[in-house]
Homo-oligomer: A and B are copies of this chain.
Amino acid sequence: MTIDYDNLASGLNSTAIHLLRRLRLQDARLGIGPARLSALSVLVFRAPCSLGQLAEAEQVTSATMSKIVSGLVQSGLVKRQQSAEDARAVRISATRKGRTLMKRGQRARILDLSARLENLDPTEISCLQGAVAILRSMETT
């Protein structure tokens, strides 16, 4: 059996981009875009970290992450603090406002994507969960 990897790759590209476009609409109501939300969730659900660590977790350059963080700081969702171990580095953590927004953000997702997920049967759900896990493991390969 020949597996059409190209077709699958193309399908992943297209579904990913469409999914993000839909989520972008939802996120706009929170006044925050996908990149900022993704970075903020790392800080809220994992731990405060350095800018370089955050950039690595999010797979962008530190230049890009510096800008994303600046936007988050401006919105009062995260704060930059001088690192105790290294004077070059900064430690970035979520503010109370940022943590609250993540909770509200999750609520908004329930109304849209999660609601659509609820229309699926359990095999489809576990299929998606499996796909997420696979793609995650591929990220670290």
Contacts and interface: CB of A to CB of B under 8 A. Distances in A.
Interface in A1-26: 1, 3, 5-6, 8-23
A19 B34 CA distance: 13
A132 B5 contact: no
A3 B58 contact: no
A interface: dominant SS: helix
Given A14-B41, A18-B139, A130 B129 contact: no
A100 interface: no
A22 to B, nearest CB: 7
Interface in A34-61: 34-35, 37-38, 41, 58-60
A109 interface: yes
A115 to B, nearest CB: 8
Residue of A13, A21, A114, A116 with highest tally of chain B CB at under 10 A? A13
B106 A10 contact: yes
Contacts of A120: 134, 138
A27 to B, nearest CB: 9
B134 A127 contact: yes
